[in-house]
């Protein structure tokens, strides 16, 4: 039994390469963006009871499948992000999280038909260039 438990845990103990850590965080940005989309859908499904409605009646959130799915994805996001952080510098990985905004802007355009104006395009380009600049190997 001990060896089967060790086999389950051993992939979590191996050292990640820089590329693997960055890829995991990049995957986290997709998870985060999907969670944000689900939050938006869940918020739309909430009754118009004011900002404290969820605090006074948490059952509203428990019955809101998109909201719960978004929270679940946030939990997954945090677990994967923490795993990616174990072998890499936070100052290198954290800027990659900015890609979440890129995905949210694109998904909002596709799903909710929100505008994607030139200023957003400039912002998205700036984010992408900034992340690439911050992620450059300093060796």
Rounded Cα distance, 19 and 16, in Å? 8
Query: Binning pLDDT at 50, 70 and 90, where does residue 66 land?
Result: very high
Residue ranges per structural domain of the chain: 18-134
pLDDT top residue among 104 and 8: 104
What burial letters (b/e) apply to 74-98, b meaning 16+ CB within 10 Å?
bebbeeebebbbeebeeebbebbbb
Q: Is residue 85's pLDDT more than 70? A: yes
The per-residue pLDDT of the chain, averaged, comes to: 85
pTM (two decimals): 0.80
Query: Binning pLDDT at 50, 70 and 90, where does residue 13 land?
Result: low
Calculate Rg over the CA atoms of the chain. Answer: 19
């Amino acid at each position: 039994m001990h060896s089967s438990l060790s086999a389950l845990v051993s992939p979590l103990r191996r050292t990640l390469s820089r590329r693997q850590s960055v890829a995991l965080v990049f995957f986290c940005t997709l998870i985060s963006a999907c969670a944000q989309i689900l939050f938006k859908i869940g918020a739309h499904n909430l009754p118009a009871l004011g900002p404290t409605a969820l605090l006074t009646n948490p059952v509203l959130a428990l019955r809101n499948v998109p909201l719960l799915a978004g929270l679940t994805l946030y939990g997954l996001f945090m677990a994967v992000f923490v795993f990616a952080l174990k072998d890499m510098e936070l100052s290198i990985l954290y800027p990659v999280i900015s890609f979440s905004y890129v995905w949210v802007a694109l998904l909002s355009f596709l799903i909710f038909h929100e505008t994607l104006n030139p200023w957003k395009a400039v912002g998205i380009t700036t984010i992408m260039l900034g992340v690439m600049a911050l992620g450059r190997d300093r060796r």
